[in-house]
Structure 1
Amino acid sequence: MTAVQGFVRQIDLPQIHDPRGDLTFVEGGKHIPFEIRRVYYLYNVPVDAERGGHAHRELEQVVFALSGSFRIKIDDGREKSEYWLRDPRKGLYINRLVWREMDSFSQGAVCMVLASHRYDEGDYYRNYDDFLAAIRVAAE
Structure 2
Amino acid sequence: MTDTPKIHATAEVGSAQIGAGTSIWQNVVVLAGAKIGKDCNINAQCFVENDVVLGDRVTVKSGVYLWDGVHLQNDVFVGPNVTFTNDKFPRSKQYPEHFSKTVVCEGASIGGGAIILPGVRIERGAMVGAGAVVTKNVPPFAIVVGNPAQIVGYVSGSVTSGASTVVPATSPQLGSPVSVGVGAVKLHALKVVGDMRGDLSVGEIPTEIPFDVKRYFLVFNVPSTKTRGEHAHHQCHQFLICVKGSCSVVVDDGNHRAEVLLDTPGKGLHLPPLTWGIQYKYSKDAVLLVFASHAYDAKDYIRDYSEFTSVVKHHS
Query: Secondary structure at the residue paired with 1:21?
Result: coil
TM-score scaled by length of structure 1? 0.92
Indicate which of 48, 56, 60 corresponds to 2:233.
56
Query: Secondary structure at the residue paired with 1:65?
Result: strand
* Separation of aligned partners in 2, 1:17 and 1:104: 27
Amino acid at match of 1:64: I
**Pairwise CA RMSD:** 1.3
Query: Secondary structure at the residue paired with 1:130?
Result: helix
Which structure has greater helix proportion? 1
Query: Secondary structure at the residue paired with 2:255?
Result: coil
* Separation of aligned partners in 2, 1:29 and 1:83: 22
Which structure has greater strand proportion? 1
Structure 1 residue 83 corresponds to structure 2 residue 260 = yes
Indicate which of 278, 298, 310 corresponds to 1:101.
278
Partner of 2:149: none
Indicate which of 106, 110, 117 corresponds to 2:294.
117
Are the counterparts in 1 of residues 230 and 277 from structure 2 also a CA contact under 8 Å?
Answer: yes
Q: How many residues align?
A: 135
* Separation of aligned partners in 2, 1:66 and 1:76: 25
The percent identity for this pair of structures is: 36
* Separation of aligned partners in 2, 1:65 and 1:138: 31
Q: How many angstroms does 1:28 deviate by?
A: 2.2
Higher deviation after alignment, 8-17 or 49-58: 8-17
Amino acid at match of 1:113: V
Q: How many angstroms does 1:53 deviate by?
A: 0.5
Partner of 1:67: 244
Q: How many angstroms does 1:27 deviate by?
A: 2.4
The structure whose Rg is larger is: 2
Amino acid at match of 1:121: A
Structure 1 residue 16 corresponds to structure 2 residue 16 = no
Amino acid at match of 1:69: S
* Separation of aligned partners in 2, 1:110 and 1:125: 24
Runs of 4+ in 1 over 3 A off after TM superposition: none
Are the counterparts in 1 of residues 248 and 262 from structure 2 also a CA contact under 8 Å?
Answer: yes
* Separation of aligned partners in 2, 1:20 and 1:121: 42
Q: How many angstroms does 1:16 deviate by?
A: 2.4
TM-score scaled by length of structure 2? 0.42
Q: How many angstroms does 1:15 deviate by?
A: 2.0
Structure with more relative contact order (C-alpha pairs < 8 Å, separation 6 or more): 1
Amino acid at match of 2:277: R
Q: How many angstroms does 1:117 deviate by?
A: 0.7
Structure 1 residue 26 corresponds to structure 2 residue 206 = no
Q: How many angstroms does 1:61 deviate by?
A: 0.8
Query: Secondary structure at the residue paired with 1:134?
Result: helix
Kindly provide the CA deviation profile for residues 76-100 of structure 1, in whole angstroms up to 9, marking residues without a partner as x: 0000110011011101111010101
Q: How many angstroms does 1:31 deviate by?
A: 1.8
Query: Secondary structure at the residue paired with 2:240?
Result: strand
